[in-house]
Amino acid sequence: MPEYCGLGSIISAHRDTKKSLLKSLNNMVDALAAPSTTSDLISYNIAGLLCHYSHLCAANGVLDLVIYIVRNLVSSAPQQHNGIEVARARLKLTFARDPKTARRLCWHATRIVAIANEYLVSAPCEIMRVFMGYIFIIAYSTYGPDRTASPNDS
């Protein structure tokens, strides 16, 4: 549909820019990977949290679906619409359509949690990122592709 509106090149440029920015964040984290001072360690942790969270945010609305589902599940007033079911179905479909990307996003979420568990994180924005990492992991385990390992799997 976007190509009919003349938006194909804009969408392609946006996708390329997003990939470039995410790659730059990965490179920044890699460059900070050998901290020699406390200040370097803090920078490395913040950069790591920011990088992994950015990957979740850049995932074409997946994190937005997760947040929508969580907000509706914990809401004190039950919603009288089928939006939650639509969101659940869409999230399941998104995870099933591209399981490799879904696993990669889950990996980024687990990295957020791992960094926070290893190093004390106390800034409100960092705590929010940790929360987002946890809810993504829970959503992936709830709505992600079901797969049972068989003895032939390596």
- 78 pLDDT above the threshold of 70: no
Going by pLDDT thresholds of 50, 70 and 90, the confidence category of residue 110 is very high
- 99 pLDDT above the threshold of 90: yes
pLDDT of 52: 95
Model confidence pLDDT, tens digit, residues 43-60: 888 899 999 999 999 998
Sequence-distant (6+) residues with CB within 8 A of 20 are none
Greater confidence, 99 or 154?
A: 99
Model confidence pLDDT, tens digit, residues 57-77: 999 899 999 999 999 888 867
Q: Identify the CA nearest to 52 among candidates 115, 5, 4.
A: 115
- 14 pLDDT above the threshold of 70: no
- 103 pLDDT above the threshold of 80: yes
pLDDT of 154: 45
> Chain centroid to CA 30: how far?
19
Q: What's this model's pTM, rounded to 2 decimal places?
A: 0.81
- 120 pLDDT above the threshold of 80: no
pLDDT (average), residues 25-49: 90
pLDDT (average), residues 109-136: 89
Determine the Cα–Cα distance for residues 113 and 98; give it in Å rounded to an integer. 23
pLDDT (average), residues 14-41: 88
pLDDT (average), residues 98-121: 92
